[in-house]
């Protein structure tokens, strides 16, 4: 028989029952009863951030690196509204998260009370689901349901808004087993007939390609293992979105690299020229597709996704398969083996010969400078000096994010944390804190631009307080790099407000927080600076001054198809046509 307890105690008990180990939050008047209960227990760790947006991004980093839902606790009004950017980011990138917000007492709702906001109304468009709990008796069951919704099907953020009087009142606690989860049961098994059609297409395709996304990683480690087995057994080339990096190893023999706007030449041309595209857990984002009517124009398209709303939303697919990626890949692999492990070997051989010819372009090649650090060089050295370590990489958003994706290799899933769909500047630093909390002994590096990093620099206080040795690797070009690049290429070199001014001394800033600061501007000193950053046992800011006007290539100009790429090293006017590179 369950006993009566206050709503605040219910919250903590429900979190314990869900296996929650850490909560990221910031207290305020409307959640003080919950914080009082947190104070009186020791099973759940609370990490005090410096801003509610930081709490949500930290929970995202925790969730992305562990596969477990992140948990956030913030107060009403500005506490909740400050969290909206992070919640939207989590929705776009399918990150499982439970956000608990305080609310004014039920009898004050609608009165414009102090620190009141319509949290449920504000967050309805940016959550999978949200609840305003007006009855203490339903609070524990609602929290259990929230965890189910956040993690079942396509993962995402949910929010539970809890008025203060509900936290004080008492009622019987409902255990997890009594939660109403039956009303949300997404389809997880794929249609066998459609899977059979896809296997038949794999057996005959001459130019197939796997196009994989974050859904493979969200499905869990089994999905990544099945993907690797299927790709290696069939010999089909594989590429990935920004969010899918690590599902297939960067050292794998069938790996083409990332595709999309700043993807690799061979990956984009393979997507453009394939006759069978197998989309596994990706959503046909516009940064991947380019111009829709010219996207992979001659291919039959299969799409495996657990979210029915993603099927045929952007690109029409010939073989839609709704189900959990791991389940579908398992059935595909089993069926393909049972049918005799057949592929079109002659066609694949010709296809690989074409791809190998494209690889000769060496689209990521660059010439290091002896006078100034080129950002590509910085990323290449970071990769060389950290490869093989127990390493997690986060990024902010901008050019540095794309260079990190291009030059850093990921052998395993859940090692790469970045803001893909929303493109949130300020994401990486707090995300790295969440990753370090989850993996205290690992090397956690946030690759940043100076402008993005400044947006949540206050979280250095969190890193210091909790002795989290996160490494902030800032590619400092004193510019809003991606904005400046677009202005150069697309807006007649009119650099409207894209040059950073009044930047801080990052070394002094680090020292002011009690962290270590390092500055490097000479290519000859770069390796030593990276080694010093890695060796230090506390938080570090490495201010790496790089070439100010370097552009990030390859690049598909906005609205262009995959076979029209700018390569850039020789000229920003290198255009990629059907068969190869042509200087125009």
Angstrom distance (rounded) from CA 482 to CA 555: 11
Angstrom distance (rounded) from CA 357 to CA 444: 36
Mean pLDDT, 10 residues at a time, the chain of 584 residues: 88 98 98 98 98 98 98 98 98 98 97 96 98 97 97 97 98 88 91 98 98 97 98 98 98 97 96 97 91 93 96 96 98 98 98 97 95 98 97 98 98 98 97 98 98 98 98 97 94 94 96 98 98 98 97 90 79 40 31
Q: How far is CA 541 from the centre of its chain?
A: 22
- What is the per-residue pLDDT for 569? 59
Angstrom distance (rounded) from CA 482 to CA 500: 13
Cβ neighbours of residue 281 closer than 8 Å, sequence gap 6 or more: 212, 213, 214, 215, 216, 217, 218, 219, 223, 244, 304, 305, 306, 325
- What is the per-residue pLDDT for 578? 39
Question: Is the full-model pTM beyond 0.85?
Answer: yes
- Give 390's Cβ-side CA count (13 Å radius): 9
Angstrom distance (rounded) from CA 85 to CA 155: 17
Angstrom distance (rounded) from CA 517 to CA 132: 45
SS3 track for 221-244: HHHHHHHHHHHHHHCCCEEECHHH
Which DSSP category does 555 fall into?
B
CB 538 within 8 A of CB 466: no
- What is the per-residue pLDDT for 223? 98
Domains and CATH numbers, the chain: 4-178 (3.40.50.970), 192-359 (3.40.50.1220), 375-552 (3.40.50.970)
- What is the per-residue pLDDT for 570? 43
- Sequence-separated contacts (24+) of 285-289 with Cβ below 8 Å: 285/241, 285/260, 285/314, 285/420, 285/421, 286/314, 287/242, 287/260, 287/261, 288/211, 288/241, 288/259, 288/260, 288/261, 289/314, 289/315
- What is the per-residue pLDDT for 363? 95
Catalytic residues: 52, 114-115, 164, 482
- What is the per-residue pLDDT for 583? 29
pLDDT digits (tens, 9 = 90+) for 137-176: 999 999 999 999 999 999 999 999 999 999 999 999 999 8
- What is the per-residue pLDDT for 3? 83
Angstrom distance (rounded) from CA 191 to CA 118: 41
- What is the per-residue pLDDT for 529? 98
Strands 129-132 and 516-520 turn out to be unpaired
- What is the per-residue pLDDT for 197? 98
Cβ neighbours of residue 178 closer than 8 Å, sequence gap 6 or more: 141, 144
């Amino acid at each position: 028989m369950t006993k009566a307890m206050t709503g605040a105690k219910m919250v903590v008990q429900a979190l314990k029952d869900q296996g929650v180990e850490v909560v990221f939050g910031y207290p305020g008047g409307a959640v003080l009863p919950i914080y009082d209960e947190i104070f009186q227990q020791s099973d759940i760790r609370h990490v005090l951030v410096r801003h509610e947006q930081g709490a949500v991004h930290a929970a995202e980093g925790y969730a992305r690196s562990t596969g477990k839902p992140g948990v956030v606790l913030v107060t009403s009004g500005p506490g909740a509204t400050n969290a909206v950017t992070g919640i939207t980011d989590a929705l776009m990138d399918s990150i499982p998260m439970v956000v608990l917000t305080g609310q004014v007492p039920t009898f004050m709702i609608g009165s414009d009370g102090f620190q009141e906001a319509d949290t449920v109304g504000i967050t309805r468009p940016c959550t999978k689901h949200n609840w305003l709990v007006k009855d203490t008796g339903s609070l524990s069951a609602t929290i259990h349901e929230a965890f189910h919704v956040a993690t079942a099907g396509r993962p995402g953020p949910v929010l539970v808004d809890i008025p203060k009087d509900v936290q004080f009142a008492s009622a019987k606690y409902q255990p997890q087993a009594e939660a109403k989860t039956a009303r949300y049961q997404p389809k997880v098994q794929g249609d066998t007939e459609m899977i059979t059609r896809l296997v038949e297409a794999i057996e005959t395709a001459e130019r197939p390609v796997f196009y994989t996304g974050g859904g493979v990683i969200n499905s869990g480690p089994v999905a990544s293992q099945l993907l690797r087995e299927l790709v290696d057994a069939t010999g089909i080339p594989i590429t990935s979105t920004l969010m899918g990096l690590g599902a297939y190893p960067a050292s794998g023999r069938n790996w083409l690299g990332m595709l999309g706007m700043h993807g690799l030449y061979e990956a984009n041309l393979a997507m453009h020229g394939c006759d069978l595209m197998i989309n596994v857990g990706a959503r046909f984002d516009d940064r991947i597709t380019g111009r829709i009517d010219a996207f992979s124009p001659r291919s039959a398209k299969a799409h495996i996704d657990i979210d029915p709303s993603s099927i045929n939303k952007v690109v029409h697919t010939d073989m839609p398969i709704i189900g959990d990626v791991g389940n579908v890949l398992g059935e595909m692999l089993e069926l393909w083996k049972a049918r005799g492990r057949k592929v079109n070997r002659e066609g694949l051989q010709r296809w690989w010969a074409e791809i190998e010819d494209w690889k000769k372009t060496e689209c990521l090649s660059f010439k290091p400078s002896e006078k100034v650090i080129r950002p590509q060089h910085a990323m290449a050295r970071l990769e060389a000096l950290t490869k093989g370590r127990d390493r997690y990489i986060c990024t902010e958003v901008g050019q540095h994010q794309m260079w990190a994706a291009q030059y850093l290799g990921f052998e395993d899933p859940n090692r790469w944390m970045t803001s893909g769909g929303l493109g949130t500047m300020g994401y990486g630093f707090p995300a790295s804190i969440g990753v370090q909390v989850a993996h205290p002994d690992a090397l956690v590096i946030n690759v940043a631009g100076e402008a993005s990093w400044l947006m949540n620099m206050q979280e250095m206080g969190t890193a210091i307080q909790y002795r989290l040795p996160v490494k902030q690797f800032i590619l400092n070009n004193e510019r809003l790099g991606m904005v400046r690049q677009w202005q150069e290429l697309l807006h007649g070199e009119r650099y409207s407000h894209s040059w950073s001014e009044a930047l801080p001394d990052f070394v002094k800033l680090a020292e002011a927080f009690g962290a270590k600061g390092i500055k490097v501007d000479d290519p000859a000193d770069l390796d030593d600076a990276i080694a010093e950053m890695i060796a230090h046992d506390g938080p570090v800011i490495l201010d790496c001054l790089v070439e100010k006007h370097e552009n990030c290539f390859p690049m598909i100009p906005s609205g262009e198809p995959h076979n029209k790429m700018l390569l850039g090293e020789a000229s920003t006017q290198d255009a990629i046509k059907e068969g190869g590179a042509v200087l125009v």
